[in-house]
Chain A
Amino acid sequence: MTSAAPQSTLTFPRETFEKLSPHPYLLAHLQQASASSPPTRPNGRTPEQFRTPHINNGSLTHAEGSAVVRIGDTTVVCGIRGEILLASNVAGYRVDKSGTAPSTKPGYNEAEELDLLVPNIELATGCSPAFLPGQPPSTLVQSLSTRIYSLLHSSSLVNGADLRIWYQPPDLSDPDRMRDDEEEDTPEPEVKAFWTLYVDILFISLDGNPFDAAWAAVLSALKDVRLPKAYWDPDREMILCDDSVAESKKLQLNGLPIAVTALVFRAKEAAQSKDKRFWILVDPDTFEETLCDESVTVVVDGEKETKILGISKAGGTTVGSGQMRDIMELAAKRSAQLSRILNT
């Protein structure tokens, strides 16, 4: 305009830049890389750097198992409650085990068929400014709970046998007659009830990467579960639980799957642009999540050699076979780190 305004470059403080134009802000951070220093994200981490996890088990006294997991500013509480489901109350339950019953077909999953694992997620009001009180469950919550549910079943993490409550009917036949008639076996034990595990997941605060945190919490809480010894009392015709801790049992978990999420940040927002540079950001926070379309979540179990239990990738075309290998390597590292913490 007038000469009063000299050619001053337009400058803002960091926070204003971040609010005004978030995409160039993140891009500017990642582009700063020189030969000596790797690119750094606004939160001070390198693209391949995860946040340090903190896990605390058994903090809820009334739950059968619980865990609090903190990854950066994302904090999740998971409590697992066991309830008894009588076999006679299951509407479609079949006692006979003939060769044609549904339970004999391949791929039959009792826990899934009878809904013995019930995850429920709540994103508490106040865990993030995006959640207002009194709203119906958001798409994010419903989507997360489906993912947790299907991973719980597809990984067959919980052993179906651990959830059955058996009853061995006493042998009432005359012992003398037994000797004559060898073919008559002792009565077959029958399943009287099932344990149903209600997995409640509550987000206390959310700063990105909800799935990894929620899954870590579920895993840690499941490791913490102690189910009391339950038995069928034929006189009272009900299931009773034993008080003694010594009789209670832990669950036998199949493996230790760890979920790892990474986002792809593209240098240009428009899909058709020439600038094809991209960065893979692992363990993203909320700010990064709003700027990236493409996300990859892998679930790995690194017990022996790395087994993959799930891949879900959507929202873009950047990640192909090669990038997937890189992400797998990072996931394996993360898996080793988390399992160390989980196993202590």
Chain B
Amino acid sequence: MPREVEPSLNEKQFFVKALEENLRIDGRAFDQYRELDLEFGDELGVTDVRLGKTRIHTHITAEVTTPFPDRPFDGLFTITSELSPMTSPFFEPNRPSTTEILLSRLLEKTLRRSGALDTESLCLIAGQKCWSIRADVHVLSHDGNLVDAACIGVLAALQHFRKPDTSTEGESVTVYTLAEREPVPLSLLHFPYCVTFSYYSSTVEEGETVTLLDATLLEEQLREGSATIGINRHGEVCQIAKLGGVPLDAVAFLGCVQIALVKVKEISVFVSKRLEEEAKKRDKGGLMAELSAENDRVS
């Protein structure tokens, strides 16, 4: 299998020169995200996130299973992400690359371990039956900053998803089909989004570290350090991952958390706006139409 092509010396020098002049190659400000677009599929719990040329498709599914014996009151929530050769021929199927492992680790830390999804609400009969929620993250196109985009995708999909309604009678559970009963939304406790910072120090003047947000693939390949901060819009930090790279000033890093909070607030507003629009679109022929028909008869 061919190896990923590294940026050429020319590209490298051009990039550094631009940084010294306070410019990014695509003309963005240092703390500016690329254009974010969020679309929903025909099915519930399907999202398609586009962040510049990065594109991530997320699919949520629910199934009734048996809970783990050591956690009888908790439902299951799993996130799987795999980079296929569709992203780039350098990814081999069934052999996880570093990018892929990092992506799943960070999503796991930010979304699952922070308790974004209330797993106790997924329990149907303690120790016997529970819901298993599964999020499949498919990276369709990779142009940097997979983690932030995937996080938006999964959280938006979880909010968009509806699981089938159930009723419990003693020991027997009835799962109603979508035609029988309106499905119910998942219970989400908070929405931690990720913001990734890329650091460049040796390339520019002594003692100065340049920080970029939402790096493209080229910027990711050339960076000397990175940190991903998972934070919700109330300013509660859920996880911080800084895996080696250039050393950073602690106070400056606190500044990064502040920037992350601002960005996360923007992202939250965007996602809720899109979800509202989507809900309106879905409701067109549904409940609203029924209600209006009733009103007609009354008047």
Interface residues of chain A, those whose CB is within 8 Å of chain B, are 88, 91-92, 94-96, 100-102
A339 CA to B273 CA, complexed, in Å: 66
Query: Is residue B42 within 8 Å, beta carbon to beta carbon, of the partner chain?
Result: no
In the complex the two chains form, is A100's CB within 8 Å of B174's CB?
A: no
Q: B66 in the interface, Cβ–Cβ < 8 Å?
A: yes
Residues from chain B with a CB closer than 8 A to the CB of A91 are 63-66, 129
Q: Is B179's CB within 8 Å of the partner chain A?
A: yes
Name which residue of chain B comes closest to A95, CB basis. Answer: B172
Specify which chain A residues have a CB less than 8 angstroms from the CB of B171 in the assembled complex. 88
Interface-central residue, B63, B65, B174, B179, by most chain A CB under 10 Å: B174
Residues of B within 8 A of A95 (CB): 172, 174
Given the complex, which residues of B lie within 8 Å of A101, measured CB to CB? 177
Total number of residue pairs linking A and B with CB closer than 8 Å: 20
Residue of B whose beta carbon sits closest to that of A100: B180
Whether A94 lies near B174 (C-beta < 8 A) is yes
Q: A95-B172, A100-B179 are in contact. List 12 more A-B contacts (CB 8 A).
A: A88-B171, A88-B172, A91-B63, A91-B64, A91-B65, A91-B66, A94-B174, A94-B175, A95-B174, A96-B174, A100-B177, A102-B177
Closest to B174 in A: A94
Closest to B171 in A: A88
Complex Cα gap A102–B178 (Å): 10
User: Could you tell me the dominant secondary structure of chain B's interface residues?
Assistant: strand
Among residues 149 to 178 in chain B, which have CB atoms less than 8 Å away from a CB atom of chain A? 171-172, 174-175, 177
Question: How far is A96 from B174 in the complex, measured between Cα atoms in Å?
Answer: 8
CB distance from A299 to the nearest CB of B (A): 32
CB of B95 to closest CB in A, whole Å: 12
> How far, in angstroms, from A101 to B172 measured CA to CA in the complex?
15
What 1/0 flags go to B242-272 for Cβ under 8 Å of A? 0000000000000000000000000000000
Closest B-chain residue to A101, C-beta based? B177
Closest chain B CB from A84 CB (angstroms): 17
Q: What are 9 A-B pairs at a CB distance below 8 A?
A: A88-B171, A91-B63, A92-B63, A92-B64, A92-B175, A94-B175, A100-B177, A100-B180, A102-B177
Interface residues as binary, B170-192 with A (CB distance below 8 Å gives 1, 0 otherwise):
01101101011000000000000
Complex Cα–Cα for A100 and B175 (A):
12
Q: In the complex, what residue of chain B is closest to A90 when comparing beta carbons?
A: B64
CB distance from B52 to the nearest CB of A (A): 37
Chain B residues in 8 Å Cβ range of A100: 177, 179-180
Q: 10 smallest A-B Cβ distances: which pairs?
A: A91-B64, A100-B180, A92-B64, A91-B65, A95-B172, A94-B174, A92-B175, A102-B177, A96-B174, A91-B129
Chain A residues contacting B179 (CB-CB under 8 Å) are 100
Which chain A positions have C-beta within 8 A of B172? 88, 95
In chain B between 2 and 24, which residues have their CB closer than 8 angstroms to a CB of chain A?
none
Q: How far is the CB of B66 from chain A (nearest CB, A)?
A: 7
- Per-position 1/0 for B229-240, Cβ under 8 A of A: 000000000000
Closest residue of chain A to B124, judged by CB? A91
In the complex, the chain A residue whose C-beta lies closest to that of B176 is A100
Which residue of chain B lies nearest to A91 when distances are taken between CB atoms in the complex? B64
**B-side contacts of A92, CB under 8 Å:** 63-64, 175
B61 to chain A, nearest CB (A): 13
Q: Give the CA-CA distance A100 to B172 in the complex, in Å.
A: 18
Chain B residues whose CB sits within 8 angstroms of the CB of A88 once the complex forms = 171-172
Complex Cα gap A101–B176 (Å): 8
- What B residues does A94 contact at CB under 8 A? 174-175
